[in-house]
Amino acid sequence: MIDGRVHKIADAVDFGYDPRDYLQPWRIRSESRVDLRFFPMRERRVRVPFVELHQLIGTFSGTVIDDTGERVPIDDMVGLAESVRARW
């Protein structure tokens, strides 16, 4: 949401991270509208049978492009990212 308005990102978004160390910086990108780095500060890990969940809080920096084509800088915005692996 930018200035109270939701902007749709129709591109697939790739979350690049090291599954051996979730506290290393992540790279979050789409083909044309998202180019962010996520810097985790804290991890919450939950493991139950067949499910492994990693929830991280940290900061985002980089750029996104809104629906009008304007490049919006993101600088140290606090947020969450997570990775879930489940086997059924």
d(CA 84, CA 10) in angstroms, rounded, equals: 22
Q: Which residues contact 48 (CB under 8 A, 6 or more apart)?
A: none
pLDDT, position 37: 98
Supply the range of the domain harboring residue 18: 13-86
Asked, for residue 65, whether it belongs to a domain, the answer is: yes
pLDDT band, very low/low/confident/very high, at 63 (cuts 50, 70, 90):
very high
Residues 70-78 have a mean pLDDT of 96
pLDDT band, very low/low/confident/very high, at 10 (cuts 50, 70, 90):
confident
pLDDT, position 3: 81
Pair 63, 73: CB distance under 8 Å = yes
Asked, for residue 35, whether it belongs to a domain, the answer is: yes
- Weakest mean pLDDT among 4-13, 15-24, 45-54: 4-13
Asked, for residue 2, whether it belongs to a domain, the answer is: no
* The pLDDT of residue 1 is above 80: no
Rounded to two decimals, the pTM is: 0.88
> Per the structure, how many domains does the chain have?
1
